[in-house]
Structure 1
Amino acid sequence: MNRQHLSPLMTPDTTCKDTCTAAAVQQKEAPDWPYIERELTRSLEKHVKIRLTVDTPHGTVQLRGFVTVINTYLKEIKLREEDDWQWIRFEDIQSVHI
């Protein structure tokens, strides 16, 4: 007998059609938080320059700089760019690249 292992979020529901598909797409596009956390910490501790893909009210932008502060209480980081800095909320971060 084949048993299918399902996570609690993926329980079969025969009543929804479009909403289940949209939820599955959103779940696939979710950021890889363990990786993002490692790279932000690495930038902070070893002064490694990173490139962030961030959602803003004006669309998605890419920022490049060093993490100087990780504030876990307010859930944000301080990114130092060339001659400027800004606070970026965790929820706005889509990806991190070295």
Structure 2
Amino acid sequence: MKENKLTPGSNMMWEGSRIILPEHREMMNLYQKERNRKTKPELAEEEVNIISEQLSESMINESEITIELFTAFGENTLKTGTVTKFDTQLRQIKLESKDDYEWIKFSEILSVR
């Protein structure tokens, strides 16, 4: 039996099966990404109350705070600014920093410093 240049000792009949279709590669990448998904930890009621107080103090005193936001993939995100608005209906806050602002959902907040 003649040896293959690509893979020594392999059977030439199966060499073409090493090709991965783009659809399969995409599905493999999606599967791998989903395997790395983190679940958000449940905050105790006491922690939620402390976070709410800190957010309120930031708005009342116009003081700067740092908020840790949950990220399902990768590292959690830190945002720094001053709370300028509460939207209780949509359950979010408006965090302003220098020349920019961002709406942050309560459900994304892990901690406040």
User: Normalised by the shorter chain, which TM-score bucket?
Assistant: 0.5 to 0.7
Segments of 5+ residues of structure 2 without an aligned counterpart are 1-40
Q: Give the unaligned 5+ runs of structure 1.
A: 1-25
Q: If the length of structure 1 is used for normalisation, what is the TM-score?
A: 0.65
Matches within 5 A, 1:1-98: 26-27=41-42, 30=43, 32-56=47-71, 59=74, 60-97=76-113
Identity level (%): 31
Higher relative contact order (CA 8 A, sep 6+): 1
Aligned residue identity for 1:95: S
How does the TM-score come out when normalised to structure 2? 0.57
- Structure with the higher fraction of residues in helix conformation: 2
Q: Which runs of 4+ in 1 moved over 3 A?
A: 56-59
Q: Which has the higher strand share?
A: 1
Bigger radius of gyration: 2
